[in-house]
Structure 1
Amino acid sequence: MTDVTATPPTQQRPWLDATLPVEERIDLLMTEMTLAEKVGQTHQVANIDPEADAGEIAAGRISSSLYASGPTGGNERDEGVLVGNIDAAQRHAVEGSRLGIPLLFGRDVIHGHRTVAPIPLGIAASFDPDVAEEIGEVAAREAVVDGVAWTFTPMVDISEEPRWGRVAESLGETPVLSGRLAASLVRGFQGDDPSDPDRLAACAKHFVGYGLAAGGRDYDTVSVGENTLRNLHLRPFRSAVDAGVLTVMAAFNDVDGIPMHAHEHLVREVLKGEWGFDGVVVADWNGIGQIVFQGVAADKREAAALAIRAGVDLDMVSGAYLEHLEGLVESGEVDLALVDDAVRRVLRLKFRLGLFERPYAARPGASNAPTSGSRAVALRAARAAHVLVKNDGVLPLGDAAGRVLLSGPFVDDGDALLGTWVLDGRGEEVVTPGAALRERLGDRVTVADGRFPDVTLMQARAADTSVLLLGEHRSRSGEAQSVVDIGLPPGQLELVRAVAAFGKPLVAVVYTGRPLDLTELLDLADAVLVVWHPGVEAGTALADVLLGDAEPHGRLPMTFPLSTGHIPTSTHQRPTGRLIRAEVDHEEGRYIDALTYPRLPFGFGLSYTTVDYGAPGLSSPTMTTDGSTTLTVTVTNTGGRPCREVVQLYFRDPVAQVTRPLVELTDWALVDLEPGQAREVTFDVQAEQTAYAGPDLTTRVDEGEIVLLTGPDVARLQPVSVTITSPKASS
């Protein structure tokens, strides 16, 4: 953003004095604003036109614009963002309006801008907060070149519903993983100072419960109590707020009959009041207008009144605020203080971003094309996202692999490898698997797109090892992309069966935006890699892992159910009066036609070596409700290759005032191990990590036994117990 060159001096507009505190600048500006100008600051349009909208901008009737291809822009391309248009529109606001309030421009920069990283679910598979922060930083640095000052990510909706297409945008099924990675993304996008010209505002979405959409059907209703919301779904939002996220987006769904865009208790009382969030709550696309469709408002006038009372500050594209807020205030139906609160928050955001000092976006000569540095970040992330879920000794591919067939629709389709919600990445900038393996293996590899299965079978017969690239096209996941069957797309398993029948080594690489039913594939293939949609370095990362130049160290951030009929299956499971134990699932399971427990549980992932876990120990068998203990576990690389182990820490609360999960992730550590190396891993366990919302919805830490469990995934854990006591009892 370039500096202002044609604005009145601060004597005429004292709020332009950057030496004053932000709140004082807001006071000075709001004192001068008319009600109509205040209402204008609550109105966001889509794809602002600097010519057609010039009059509205100059009149102060537009506050913000997002650039999007439509309401479900995740899989719809547009013409991109034109900096010239942004600055032309901005000039009308800064130099042509009475008060000179700059516009705020937003765009969905979800997992990269030009340098596209893995989808968020793939980022979550890394379990690496540093990777998440680097991705956010690179994305911000590239997006600001195009004039973007605000992005609508991270998505922290918790879901155990893989039929829902938007799990691709999520950061996993557990609140600790999602919350910690969300905080890292916020730091990456916003930095220490969001007014830095290379940073932009982040947005935690969708507040709240969107991941519970009935049947995995996008936009559907949600039935959930506040206790479950507080103990599960609200937690990653709180992590993002604590990390300083500047904006939060309301969810499309209702919660027990109250649309979130009209939910005064959760938005105004909990988010803004209880948590002290002082940023902007923005509507989702036409979210305020959709209150009418949800049946709690007769028209947009009533919808506007409900939304402003609930605490939604900025109306995305519905026009309800612009059309009706002024009249609602003048009639006394809406308190002016509610509008003032919304306007103050919007202005605070603009001041925090430095828009009053640097409203213009143009950076002559600047480029945001992928660089060696940005590609290095994307490659690190893509490698870290690779999850090896089966390996019968086939991987890594060495000389014994002989002639290799690399076949499937993803071999040279760069665009398909980018994943959902990529608006500015370019397929031609993707390193494809075909290109990477041709470079590494030369004449040893046959690369084919698999269009004709009969040809693929002939090629597989001629090869010594087959590597099949399977899974979903990127357009099968994302917004409005729900499915009723989480199996592989039609025809793929039939091909795998035929290739497997040759009895030669078979490697399956699965590209996906959701957990899939891989049950039969695990039986047929000798090795299976889940790689999500990896982004611009997809091919390089795959070649590195297949050939052993990099170790697979991703872990599953969501449970992979045995089948569609097993949904929901996740770590959200709470104890019942007749609990099924894994060891007797084959005899006492709840299904008469299938086992219950998944083969691919949360946190699961293999490496090219073996790691042994010792029994966990504690520095003290007790801790007070405000105290801590140290858990120690020794992990040993017993194989011949280095690895990065994701050492996971869970806990179980056997007796509480509400039923709690059977096990709950509370921490993890990334541990690098050389062959034969043993390392002692320590966790500082705070009693407050076991806190939960009780029947009265207040947060509490109970006295009594807590079982701490460590291991490589949720299904292979070793326990040790600690007793929580009152501070008085220990004194």
Structure 2
Amino acid sequence: MTRTDRPWLDPALGPEERVEALLAVMTLEEKVGQTHQVANITPEDEDAIRAGAVSSSLYASGATAGNERDEGMLVANIDAAQRLAVEESRLGVPLLFGRDVIHGHRTVFPIPLGLAAAFDDGLAEETARVAAEEATLEGVAWTFAPMMDVSEEPRWGRVAESLGEQPVLAGRLAAGMVRGFQGEDPSDRRRLAACAKHFVGYGLSTGGRDYNTVSVGENTLRNLHLRPFRDAVRAGVTTVMAAFNDVDGTPMHAHRRLLREVLKDEWGFDGVVVGDWNGVGQLVRQGVAGDLREAARLAIEAGVDLDMCAGAYTAHLADLVRSGEVDEALLDDAVRRVLRLKVRLGLFEHPYAGDLEDDPAPTAATRSLARRAAQAAHVLVKNDGVLPLDPAGEDRVLLTGGFVDEGDALLGTWVLDGRGEEVVTPADALRERLGEEPGVQFGRRLDVLDGRFPDQVLELARRASTAVMLLGEHRGRSGEDRCVTDIGLPPGQLDVLRHVAALGTPVVAVVYTGRPLDLTEVLDLAAAVVVVWHPGVEAGSALTDVLVGDVEPHGRLPMTFPLSVGHVPTSTHQRPTGRPIPVERDRFEGRYVDALTHSRLPFGFGLSYTSVEYGEPSVEPESVPVEDGTATVRVTLSNSGSRPCREVVQLYAHDPVADVTRPEVELVTWQTVDLAPGESREVALAVSTRDFAYSGRDLTERVDRGDIVLLAGPDSATLRATTLTLT
């Protein structure tokens, strides 16, 4: 077949014309080939590629690649496989290469949960753009991010990949990441196809156990879990990944109602629905398919377009169509979507990666962005005045803990291409800032000890004016299939903290983590506590910037930190009950007889090195029409301290009378404001009646007449109210 016989190669034609021209000449086997994704391509795949029987390749070390390292992307091997598809197959359809580029490629940014602490969708977009620019240099055309599973379950390891517990936060950040990955034109060679995952309800896995069953109704899905996905679809995301879990007994890879009827038909999503790793094959294990053949039928009928690494479609789909058990129109729809994606990405014009010829290693510019992102992720949750440290003072500082000289552990989960040796460690950065040479020497201002020998830690802590203790989780303790029953610090860390605090030495506890932890005793023992997540390649630089006050801490908690594992789930998802919990904490608080209820570290919480006072909010106008009404909430902030700050002003809403129970508080919007010492400023937060839309009992979206309570403040537990009436 000559090029003139291949109109789908003509960029002058519209995308749909190209897709239809190609689909019209495909054999049944070639169509099925476009629904088949393999893992890393090997010599055994070469004949299948020549036959047009392979559509895509996922480069990863295995099913849980976030916990294992591989040899990385090899451009020469990728281009060799691409050459087989483009030059030696009958139709010349290029392959699509995917890889998990979750929070950076070589320049690693904070884990998504840490990035969410910045409350900055523009920053999320910037980091995704850099990740795309680096990853495309190594042949990656498709990433499996952003993840927007809404969860209130810190035992679940994958909260590290999430964008927080509030739908509006997760949705705005996800939309920013989609824009960053894909750009205005996904065919730009430095852009990636993004993937909204995991559709849907994965964050509700029972007991916080990965891959587990989910019991939830469609109303809750629509009012909570589906909302970030809707935002990603509106932002133009090109692919969506089905979740591993079932929803009320129906596995998502076989869930026609949610995949085909809601995502594709109701929302008009015209991109690719990809299965998760062996997700189609796992329908057999989940007990809804008797064998792989039946699993293939269920998945294609449900709307899964691309089978990731299960081999179910390539083994059985052609026969299912021939036998009449599967309508060929369903196959054609899946193939159209896959071909449309390849056209949109410009793969027919630019199939090869090797001619880009550049190095994806971190640069001064990408490190600067990584440092800014890591700074924004730092959340100061307690400070008795010990911070910031005086960089020019004479006080003796002890830096101790397992992370002092650690690089790799600070990259976080799902880092396939970042390198530990490229990480700025806490010890390196603090030594440079305080002017100290490496090594533990008495008489110097900074002592550094990795904490392997607690007796040495105690000896140095006695001599120190301040002990900076690096606590928390190794990156291998969070991520996929990294669930825990205890959300406290890993064994041994609290014991050392107790002994250091008993000496009377003020402790700054720095907490590296991929999940909300029970920090109750840490908050009691330490003079200051900073939650820094897993910050990426500029971990040490950002920490030092915050500790010495070169940068004001301005991160906010994107998830509630429960008082204990027994309090899980604890979140802003709480809806009113018939007998609410009293809030007079000094008198009585239910519902436990052995513990208080309300978290000390609520969603949105975070301190600065100054104090900010909020005035009473007002709204104007006080009433608006229910159809497309707009209003402005105004609140005055005053920086009553001696240092500048960056404040995240948060606006929540509560609908007191609705068709279904609505959350006690739900984030509507936020605004970040810089305040100089002594400065007061009025902040205006715009709202629309669409912000109060929800799905009612009949599952249709509605906005009700009546009052909406609007609550403004620094976090979800410290709020002042005003009322807007919808008429």
Q: TM-score range by the shorter chain?
A: over 0.9
Question: Is the CA contact 1:227–1:693 (under 8 Å) kept in the aligned structure 2?
Answer: yes
What residue number does 1:460 align with?
461
Q: What's the CA shift for 1:400?
A: 5.4
1:326 pairs, out of 318, 322, 325, with 318
Q: CA deviation at 1:447?
A: 1.1
Report the Cα distance in structure 2 between the residues aligned to 1:244 and 1:629, rounded to whole angstroms: 28
Name 2:404's counterpart in structure 1.
411
Q: Verify: 1:18 aligned to 2:11, yes or no.
A: yes
Who is 1:672 aligned against?
674
Aligned match of 1:4: none
TM-score, with normalisation over the residues of structure 2?
0.98
Per-residue CA shift, 1:670-728, capped at 9, x if unaligned? 11111111111111110110010000000000000100000000110000011101xxx
Q: 1:84 aligns with which of 52, 65, 76?
A: 76
Task: Return 5+ residue gaps in structure 1 as ranges.
Answer: 1-7, 726-731
Q: What is the aligned partner in structure 2 of residue 257 from structure 1?
A: 249
Does 1:27 find its partner at 2:20? yes
Q: Is 1:402 aligned with 2:395? A: yes
Measured after TM superposition, the shift of residue 620 of structure 1 is 1.1
The CA deviation at 1:629 is 1.1
Please tell me whether residue 136 in structure 1 is matched to residue 128 in structure 2: yes
Q: Which residue of 1 aligns with 2:301?
A: 309
CA distance in 1, matches of 2:535, 2:383: 21
1:636 deviation in Å?
A: 1.3
Residue equivalent to 2:591: 590
| Separation (CA, whole Å) in 2 of partners of 1:642 and 1:584 | 32
Distance 2:167 2:587 in 1: 31
| Structure 1 segment 461-476 matched on structure 2, within 5 A | 461-476=462-477
SS in 1 for 2:406: coil
Equivalent residues in 2 for 1:337-348, closer than 5 Å: 337-348=329-340
Instruction: Return the letter of the residue paired with 2:93.
Output: I
Instruction: Please tell me whether residue 618 in structure 1 is matched to residue 619 in structure 2.
Output: yes
Paired position in structure 2 for 1:127: 119
Instruction: Work out whether residues 649 and 666 of structure 1, in 8 Å CA contact, stay in contact via their aligned partners in 2.
Output: yes
Question: For residues 514-538 of structure 1, what are the alpha-carbon distances to aligned partners after superposition, in whole Å with 9 as ceiling and x for unaligned?
Answer: 0000000000000000000000000
Q: Is the 8 A contact 2:381 2:607 kept in 1?
A: yes
Q: Decide whether the 8 Å contact of 1:401 with 1:464 is kept in 2.
A: no
Q: 1:643 aligns with which of 631, 645, 648?
A: 645
Q: How far apart in 1 are the matches of 2:187 and 2:639?
A: 46
Alignment partner, residue 65 of structure 1: 57
Q: Which moved more, 1:400-409 or 1:472-481?
A: 400-409
Measured in 2, the distance between the counterparts of 1:70 and 1:246 equals 24
* Counterpart position of 1:40: 33
**Which residue of structure 1 aligns with residue 581 of structure 2?**
580
Q: Give 2:439's aligned residue.
A: none
Native 8 Å contact 2:179 2:235 kept in 1: yes
Q: CA deviation at 1:513?
A: 0.1
Please state if 1:377 is matched with 2:362. no
Residue aligned with 1:219, SS = coil
Query: What aligned pairs does 1:430-445 form with structure 2 within 5 A after superposition?
Result: 430-441=423-434, 442=436, 443-445=444-446
What do residues 648-672 of structure 1 show as CA deviations (whole Å, max 9, x unaligned)?
A: 0000000001001001001000111
**Aligned AA for 1:32?**
V
CA distance in 1, matches of 2:12, 2:536: 42
- Check whether the contact 2:137–2:356 (CA below 8 A) recurs between aligned residues: no
State the distance in 1 between where 2:618 and 2:3 align.
64
CA displacement, residues 378-437 of structure 1 (integer Å, 9 cap, x when unaligned): 001000000000000000001557010000111111000000000000000000000001
**Residues 313 and 364 from structure 1, CA distance in 2 versus in 1: closer, same or farther, beyond 3 angstroms?**
closer
Q: Partner of 2:355: helix, strand, or coil?
A: coil
Within the candidate set 626, 630, 633, 2:632 is matched to 630
Question: Residue 603 of structure 2 corresponds to which residue in structure 1?
Answer: 602
User: How big is the shift at 1:588?
Assistant: 3.7
SS of corresponding position for 1:11: helix
Summarize the Cα distance change of 1:724–1:434 in structure 2 as closer, same or farther, 3 Å threshold: same
Separation in 1, partners of 2:642, 2:582: 35
Correspondent of 1:693 among 687, 692, 695: 695
8 Å contact kept, 2:583–2:589: no
Per-residue deviation, residues 543-574 of structure 1 (Å, max 9, x unmatched):
00000000100000000000000000000000
Residue 297 of structure 1: CA displacement? 0.4
Q: 1:250 to 1:592 in 2, by over 3 A?
A: same
* Contact 2:374/2:542, CA 8 A, preserved across alignment: yes
Shift of 1:43: 0.1
Cα distance per residue 1:24-60 (max 9 Å; x no partner): 00011011100000000000000012x3321110001
- Name 2:349's counterpart in structure 1: 357
- Worse-matched range after superposition: 672-681 or 71-80: 672-681
* Residue identity matched to 1:610: S
Secondary structure of the 1:493 match is helix
SS at match of 1:582: coil
Distance 1:606 1:491 in 2: 28
- 1:656, 1:696 → 2: CA distance? 13
TM-score by length of 1: 0.97
| Secondary structure of the corresponding residue to residue 176 of structure 1 | helix
SS at match of 1:484: coil
Q: Does 1:719 align with 2:711?
A: no
- For 2:586 and 2:410, locate their aligned partners in 1 and report how far apart those are by CA, in whole Å: 38
Query: Within 5 A, what are the aligned runs for 1:230-309?
Result: 230-309=222-301
- Greater Cα offset, 395-404 or 294-303: 395-404
> Structure 1 residue 459: deviation in Å?
1.2
Distance change (3 Å), C-alpha of 1:234 and 1:585: farther
CA distance in 2, matches of 1:553, 1:250: 35
Say whether residues 1:110 and 2:109 are aligned partners.
no
Return the alpha-carbon distance in structure 2 between the equivalents of residues 306 and 401 of structure 1.
70
- Contact map agreement 2:589 2:597 (CA 8 A) in 1: no
Contact 1:652 / 1:707 at 8 angstroms: preserved in 2? Answer: yes
State the distance in 2 between where 1:79 and 1:322 align.
27
The Cα RMSD (Å) is: 0.9
**Distance in 2 of aligned mates of 1:629 and 1:55:** 63
**1:422 aligned counterpart, secondary structure:** coil
Give me the whole-angstrom Cα distance separating, in 1, the residues matched to 2:263 and 2:621. Answer: 37
Q: Secondary structure at the match of 1:587?
A: coil
Tell me the distance in 1 between the aligned counterparts of 2:723 and 2:620. Answer: 12
Q: Does residue 218 of the first structure (1) align with residue 210 of the second (2)?
A: yes
Cα distance, 1:586 vs. partner?
4.8
SS of match in other structure, 1:594: coil
Q: Find the counterpart in structure 1 of residue 441 from structure 2.
A: none
Aligned amino acid, residue 330 of structure 1: R
AA in 1 matched with 2:672: L
Name the CA shift for 1:585/1:219 in 2 (closer, same or farther; >3 Å): farther
- 1:535 aligned partner: 536
Distance 2:110 2:67 in 1: 15
Per the TM alignment, residue 582 of structure 1 is displaced from its structure 2 partner at its CA by 2.3
The whole-number CA distance in structure 1 between the counterparts of 2:589 and 2:596 is 9
Name the structure 1 match of 2:501: 500
Alignment-derived partner of residue 389 in structure 1: 381
Amino acid across the alignment from 1:223: S
Q: What SS does the corresponding residue of 2:354 show, helix, strand or coil?
A: coil
Q: How many residues align?
A: 717
- My pick for the range that moved more, 630-639 or 316-325, is 630-639
Shift of 1:363: 3.2
SS of the aligned residue for 2:382 comes to strand
- AA aligned to 1:662 is E
| SS of 1:158 mapped into structure 2 | coil
Contact 1:401 1:465 in 2 (8 A): no
The answer to whether the Cα contact below 8 Å between 1:585 and 1:597 also exists between their aligned partners in 2 is no
Q: CA deviation at 1:584?
A: 4.4
Q: What is the aligned partner in structure 1 of residue 141 from structure 2? A: 149
Distance 1:698 1:102, change over 3 A: same
* One-letter amino acid matched to 2:635: V
Equivalent residues of 2:558, 2:604 under 8 A apart: yes
